Amino acid sequence: MSNVFTLLLAREARLLFRRPAELANPLVFFAIVIAMFPLAVGPESQLLQTLSPGLVWVAALLAVLLSLDGLFRSDFEDGSLEQWVVSPHPLALLVLAKVLAHWLFTGLALVLLSPLLALMLGLPSRCLPVLLATLLLGTPILSLLGAVGAALTVGLKRGGLLLALLILPLYIPVLILGSGALQADLQGLPTAGHLLWLASLTALAVTLTPFAVAAGLRISVGE
């Protein structure tokens, strides 16, 4: 099973490298939203600092959502998904490799870019460790939950809007915990509770969502 997982992960990485525009779009969107926000509300540093926790997390959430519509699209169109479904290997394991590749090239890239953009909003440097911790714990949840919606809408020609309607309500707890931890750290309050809850949600998502995605793919391909 580990060999299959590794081979599929390497395959997905190669495919993503062949489509650099798909890798760049969420990062560019993330950067543009944060860079343009001060132009809309003004350059007042105290206001930007107060709003920065929620803004960084909303921008990250929307950037991940932007990349989800095509998560299984190419595999569905070239027939790979049908081969996955009838494969003797566990479909949930194959799905987990696919989502991990998506997170490594989208979610992790957002995490690495976020400190620079957060400093642009006036977030103190002492808050950067908490920012990185919340995004490292939260972005995998966004990818895993988004994969459930992508699996259910992959057979639809214009499923992007439906995907957003399905997934955005599920993102609310992650958004509250992630931005809440940053806001607490900004005010000098403890953040351990928020981080532990995020870690619990991450563990739950890694454990359960691959099976939900597998079920959604079986429905979409009609097996």
CA-to-CA distance for 46 and 48, rounded, in angstroms?
A: 6
Q: Which SS3 state, helix, strand or coil, does residue 44 take?
A: coil
Which pLDDT does position 35 carry in this prediction?
86
- Both tokens of 42, joined, read 């003004």
Residue in this structure with the two tokens 């309050």, named with its chain if needed: 189
Inter-residue long-range contacts of 21-27, CB under 8 Å, 24+ positions, other chains counted: 22/67, 22/70, 23/105, 23/106, 23/109, 25/66, 25/67, 26/63, 26/64, 26/66, 26/67, 26/106, 26/109, 26/110, 27/63, 27/106, 27/109, 27/110, 27/113
- Both tokens of 15, joined, read 């495919």
Task: Label residue 185 exposed, middle or buried (CB < 10 Å: 0-12, 13-18, 19+).
Answer: buried
Closest CA to 137 of 185, 208, 196: 196
Q: What are 19-48's pLDDT values in tens digits?
A: 777 778 889 999 998 888 888 887 787 888
| pLDDT beneath 70: ranges in the chain | 1-2, 158-159, 222-223
Which pLDDT does position 200 carry in this prediction?
95
- Residue 170's contacts (CB-CB under 8 Å, 6 or more residues apart) are 145
Which pLDDT does position 37 carry in this prediction?
85
Which pLDDT does position 223 carry in this prediction?
52
CA dihedral 105, 22, 202, 214 (to 10 degrees): -110
Q: Are 33 and 62 in contact (CB under 8 A)?
A: yes
Which pLDDT does position 88 carry in this prediction?
81
Which pLDDT does position 197 carry in this prediction?
95
Which pLDDT does position 44 carry in this prediction?
80
Which pLDDT does position 204 carry in this prediction?
94
Which pLDDT does position 159 carry in this prediction?
66
- Both tokens of 135, joined, read 């995004």
- Both tokens of 130, joined, read 């908490």
